[in-house]
Amino acid sequence: MLAVIGGSGLTQLANLDVSHREVLRTPYGEPSGAVTFGQICGHPVAFLARHGYGHTIPPHEVNYRANIWALCKRGATAIVSVASVGGIRADLRPGDLIIPHQILDYTWGRKMTYHEGRDSAVVHIDFTEPYDGALRALLIKAAGLTGVAVKDSAVYAATQGPRLETAAEINRYERDGADVVGMTGMPEAALARELNVPYAAINVVSNYAAGRADSLNGISFDAIDAVLQESMGHVRSIIESLVGCGDPSCS
């Protein structure tokens, strides 16, 4: 079963034929909200709103461990994360969709592993390629089939939030090699890897990053909302195509 984690601008999947919702408890606490189960084109899909259904949970307070655990335990064989980002790379514009391939992690203080505490063995995961290659390829193919243009690679910088960045921070991230910046990509990706669930992301560029282009003198939140509203239709089309164009289970 494909699971979709929706970020800002995607608190529900309009094309999901809902069968039921489940409030799930995990050893790590409560997920962001009830998991919605249903079908898209006859294929089972689960959906979870990362920030809660009322968009009340900020990025640094999301219980990433509970979210990934709950989806995995309820049968997710692949997770697609949808998240808005600021565009750093010069060719990226608001409204662009991206399937990122790498991550730089600047977050701190988040619960980032399932393996902690004196009683737990030390566990390291290979994270050379943070996103699942086969699932990324399926997403890129799905986008191609729908005619939705996506950029097929980008380095995602995960920042702590909830504030947006300073212009100097964005310059630093660019020097580090980042193409886009967002607040929720980590530890989500690493936790999915710890549980061995294939995980990939669709990033929606909602704004130029701080200090760049239209954001030279500040970032307009109204403009971000407008971009997200317009772009999520494309995201839904890609997901529809994904469930119909191949088995999203890549394990």
Which residues of the shown chain bind ligand HPA in the complex (CB under 6 A)?
A: 84-86, 159, 164-165, 181-183, 206-207, 209
**Distance of closest approach, residue 182 Cβ to ligand HPA, in angstroms:** 4
**Distance of closest approach, residue 118 Cβ to ligand HPA, in angstroms:** 35
Which among 60, 24, 4, 65 has a CA at the least distance from the CA of 191?
Answer: 65
* Relative orientation angle of helices 133-146 and 221-244, to the nearest 10 degrees: 100
Instruction: Cis check for the bond before 162: say yes or no (omega within 30 of 0).
Output: yes
Q: Strand 180-182 relative to strand 78-87: parallel, antiparallel, unpaired?
A: antiparallel
User: Which residue number has the CB closest to ligand HPA?
Assistant: 86
Please say whether the dihedral angle defined by the alpha carbons of residues 114, 117, 120 and 121, taken in this order, is positive or negative. Answer: positive
**Distance of closest approach, residue 8 Cβ to ligand HPA, in angstroms:** 7
**Distance of closest approach, residue 228 Cβ to ligand HPA, in angstroms:** 9
**Distance of closest approach, residue 213 Cβ to ligand HPA, in angstroms:** 12
Q: Strand 17-22 relative to strand 43-49: parallel, antiparallel, unpaired?
A: unpaired
Question: Closer CB to ligand HPA, residue 81 or residue 159?
Answer: 159
Judged by phi (left if over 0) then psi (alpha if -120 to 50, else beta), residue 41 lies in left
**Distance of closest approach, residue 92 Cβ to ligand HPA, in angstroms:** 11
Q: Which phi and psi (to 5°) does residue 159 adopt? A: -110, 165
**55-62, Cβ contacts within 8 angstroms, sequence gap of 24 or more:** 55/8, 55/11, 57/32, 58/161, 58/162, 59/160, 59/161, 59/162, 59/183, 59/184, 60/107, 60/109, 60/110, 60/160, 60/161, 60/162, 60/183, 62/32, 62/184
Q: Do 227 and 131 contact (CB within 8 A), yes or no? A: no
Q: DSSP letter at 153?
A: -
**Distance of closest approach, residue 165 Cβ to ligand HPA, in angstroms:** 6
